[in-house]
Structure 1
Amino acid sequence: MSLLDIKQIHGGYGGMNILNGVDLTADRDEIVVIIGPNGAGKSTLLKAAFGMLKINDGTMTFDGEDITHLRPDQLVGKGISYVPQERNVFPSMTVLENLEMGAYLRKDDYSRQMEWIFELFPRLAERRKQQAGLMSGGERQMVAMGRALMLEPKLLLLDEPTAGLSPLFIDQTFEQVKAINKTGVGILMVEQNARQALHIADRGYVLTTGRNRITDTGANLLANEEVSEVFLGG
């Protein structure tokens, strides 16, 4: 049984479906990457998995439980954390305050998790008293990911985590994603740097027009001539 199991999901906004029968699975030991052209429904699929849009048909289960119509706050309690592409930090708060906001549901001592996040992102430890809004794009992404990890999720949803970052921060972000996954946190990621993402992916999904186009291992998708030519720029 997969940790997250999405079957024939149809959903969207304002009565219009953007997802038209998508299937997807993700396990705790996996990095799963979603790629495809603009408008394919990639980010919409992540939002569906986090209860942020209406599901008109199909089912979603998480850890064996039906979550098809649960709200985001309910899904956080089940063990799903989500990092949006934009507006993903509290800019007027310090790094430390942002991380503490991520632990708002916790009633126990979360100091050990905080220290692990500082080990994973040493720059955040150095700048824990700095306002998040004054940091670079790559540093803000670290803050957002760190805050999402404060609840010790089973599954982390990442929407375009390297968008707009410098090559150095892009490489660092992928290394951090791998490190997070090695601790037993499943990763479901939409990523515009598709070639690099597939290099670390256990499995990848290619979406077009809200439907599954190709599903395979990351390595096989990289070797697929159609995927390389159409979706990876040759």
Structure 2
Amino acid sequence: MPLLDARDVHSGYGGMNILNGVNITIEANEVGVIVGPNGAGKSTMLKAIFGLLNVNQGEILLNGDPIQNQPPNRLVRRGMGFVPQEHNVFPSLTVKENLQMGAYLKPDSVKRMLAHIYDIFPPLYDKRHQPAGELSGGQRQMVAMGRALMPEPDLLLLDEPTAGLSPRYMNEIFARVKEINATGVGILMVEQNARQALGIADRGFVLAAGQNRFTDTGAALLADPDVAKSFLGG
């Protein structure tokens, strides 16, 4: 049974569909990556999965159970985490307080999960008493990802986790994505850095105009001349 199985998803804004039949399937041990041009519907798909947009047609299954159009708070309880691209930390709260906010569903696990997050993101331990708003962009992204991991999700959704980051932090975030996945968390991420993202992907989904254009393993998509010509800059 797939961890996530989204079938023929139609969704959008203000009664107008941006997604016109998207299919996304990943297993529990996989990293899935959604790439494509601007306006293809990549972030819209994540928002539809996480209940931030209404699904007008189609079905989304999490561990075999339908979840489309359920509110985000219920999806968190069912094992899903989401890290938006922007405004994803509480800038006036310390790093530790930001992380603790993510554990409201499992208060008894705070100490254990804090240690786990600091193990995945070592820079956060030294910064734990510092306001998140004072951190670099890469460190703030670590805080946002760490907070989403505090409730111990089965599936983590990441919307452009390396957007605006330096090459150093970009490489760091990709490495941490693989490390998080190795702990048993399935990951579905949207990325503009398509080549690097597909390089760590078990499955890749190339969207265009709100539909699947190519779907394959990350390695196969990187090796596909049509994908390279149309979506990877040649």
Q: Structure 1-normalised TM-score?
A: 0.99
Q: Alpha-carbon deviation of 1:13?
A: 1.1
Alignment partner of 1:129 is 2:122:
no
Q: Alpha-carbon deviation of 1:111?
A: 1.1
SS of aligned partner of 1:61: strand
Q: Alpha-carbon deviation of 1:107?
A: 3.7
SS of aligned partner of 1:110: helix
d(CA) in 2 for partners of 1:214, 1:109 = 41
The code of the aligned residue for 1:120 comes to I
Q: Alpha-carbon deviation of 1:57?
A: 0.6
d(CA) in 2 for partners of 1:225, 1:217 = 14
1:118 maps to what in 2? 118
1:148 maps to what in 2? 148
Alignment of 1:148-167 (within 5 A): 148-167=148-167
d(CA) in 1 for partners of 2:206, 2:86 = 23
Q: Alpha-carbon deviation of 1:110?
A: 2.4
d(CA) in 1 for partners of 2:127, 2:68 = 39
Q: Alpha-carbon deviation of 1:109?
A: 3.0
Q: 1:153-185, CA deviations, whole angstroms, 9 ceiling, x for partnerless residues?
A: 000000000000000000000100000000000
d(CA) in 2 for partners of 1:17, 1:181 = 32
Q: Alpha-carbon deviation of 1:209?
A: 0.6
Q: Structure 2-normalised TM-score?
A: 0.99
Alignment partner of 1:232 is 2:215:
no
Q: 1:69-89, CA deviations, whole angstroms, 9 ceiling, x for partnerless residues?
A: 211001000000000000000
1:199 maps to what in 2? 199
The code of the aligned residue for 1:222 comes to L
d(CA) in 2 for partners of 1:231, 1:146 = 31
d(CA) in 2 for partners of 1:188, 1:109 = 25
Larger displacement relative to structure 2 (57-66 or 101-110): 101-110
Alignment of 1:169-208 (within 5 A): 169-208=169-208
Q: Alpha-carbon deviation of 1:190?
A: 0.2
Q: Alpha-carbon deviation of 1:108?
A: 2.0
The code of the aligned residue for 1:117 comes to I
Identity %: 62
Alignment of 1:25-174 (within 5 A): 25-174=25-174
d(CA) in 1 for partners of 2:225, 2:112 = 46
SS of aligned partner of 2:25: strand
The code of the aligned residue for 1:56 comes to N
d(CA) in 2 for partners of 1:54, 1:48 = 6
SS of aligned partner of 2:205: strand
Count of residue pairs brought into register by the alignment: 234
2:53–2:69: 8 Å Cα contact kept in structure 1? no
The code of the aligned residue for 1:96 comes to K
d(CA) in 1 for partners of 2:15, 2:106 = 36
SS of aligned partner of 1:97: helix
SS of aligned partner of 2:108: coil
Q: 1:39-74, CA deviations, whole angstroms, 9 ceiling, x for partnerless residues?
A: 000000000010000111101111111101211001
d(CA) in 1 for partners of 2:209, 2:109 = 45
d(CA) in 2 for partners of 1:25, 1:85 = 22
d(CA) in 2 for partners of 1:106, 1:120 = 19
The code of the aligned residue for 1:70 comes to Q
d(CA) in 1 for partners of 2:109, 2:193 = 37
Q: Alpha-carbon deviation of 1:120?
A: 0.7
d(CA) in 2 for partners of 1:120, 1:183 = 10
SS of aligned partner of 2:47: helix
The code of the aligned residue for 2:15 comes to G
SS of aligned partner of 1:108: helix
Q: Alpha-carbon deviation of 1:113?
A: 1.2
CA RMSD of aligned residues (A): 0.7
The code of the aligned residue for 2:59 comes to T
